[in-house]
């Protein structure tokens, strides 16, 4: 059973016990926290998980776009617009068409106040299909990957052939 803490062991708002020492290996209090599933753990003590312990949550998130033209081929200028729900760092994209076809989609962003005036964030590796049905990448050359809660994203069709439906998922991590 646990030991009692006596009044002389409390000084300066902290519990002082000789058997609890984060600077001496083997004498630290350890609360078991396991890193994984987007939970990070770092600490400053000599024993793992002791000293100043910091927990971080970096949840994965997806921002889905669906560009649809009621069964007709998508055309240059077709768009879909979504608000950004929280601060996100984009880490990749996936695009899937309803059939084999070709399309290039620019991802554009504005602050809520500036919308509908948008600017491309997609760099040189825009979501695209070339006589294909699916494509994905985590190589975001030239992208502005930082999104803030309240920003507005727009997926803009730059060119398209043979597709009436396209789904794009921007993958990311919460900041």
The pLDDT tens digits of the residues spanning 88-121 come to 999 999 999 999 999 999 999 999 999 999 999 9
- Please check the confidence at residue 64 and state whether its pLDDT lies above 70: yes
pLDDT at position 1: 46
Given a cut of 50, whether residue 158 has pLDDT beyond it is yes
Helix (H, G, I), strand (E, B) or coil at 15: strand
Residues 6+ apart with CB under 8 A from 52: 43, 44, 45
Going by the DSSP 8-state scheme, the letter that residue 74 receives in this structure is P
**Measured distance CA(2)–CA(76) in Å, rounded:** 71
More confident residue, 39 or 84: 84
* Chain length of the chain: 175
The confidence score (pLDDT) of residue 116 equals 96
Peptide bond into 116 cis (omega under 30): yes
- Displacement of CA 104 from its chain's centroid (Å): 23
The pLDDT-based confidence of 15 (bands split at 50, 70, 90) is low
117: left (phi over 0), alpha (psi -120 to 50) or beta: beta
Whether the per-residue pLDDT at 58 is higher than 90: the answer is: no
Q: What 3-state class would DSSP assign to 8?
A: helix
The number of helices, as runs of H, and strands, as runs of E, in the chain is: 0, 12
The ranges of the chain annotated as CATH 2.60.120 are: 60-174
- Between 169 and 48, the higher pLDDT residue: 169
What pLDDT does residue 59 have? 83
DSSP single-letter state for residue 19: T
CATH number of 60-174: 2.60.120
């Amino acid at each position: 059973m646990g030991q009692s803490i006596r009044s002389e062991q409390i000084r300066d708002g902290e519990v002082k016990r000789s058997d609890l020492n984060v600077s001496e290996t083997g004498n630290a209090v350890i609360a078991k926290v396991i890193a994984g599933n987007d939970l990070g753990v770092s600490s400053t003590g000599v024993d793992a998980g002791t000293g100043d312990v910091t927990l971080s949550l970096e949840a994965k998130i997806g921002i889905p776009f669906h560009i649809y033209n009621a069964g007709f081929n998508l055309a240059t200028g077709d768009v879909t617009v979504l608000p950004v729900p929280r601060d996100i760092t984009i880490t990749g994209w996936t695009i899937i068409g309803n059939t084999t076809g070709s399309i290039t989609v620019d991802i554009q962003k504005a602050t809520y106040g500036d919308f509908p005036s948008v600017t491309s964030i997609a760099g040189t590796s825009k979501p695209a299909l070339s006589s294909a049905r699916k494509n994905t990448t985590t190589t975001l050359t030239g992208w502005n990957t930082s999104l803030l809660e309240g920003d507005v994203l727009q997926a803009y069709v730059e060119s398209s052939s043979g597709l009436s439906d396209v789904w794009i998922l921007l993958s990311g991590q919460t900041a």
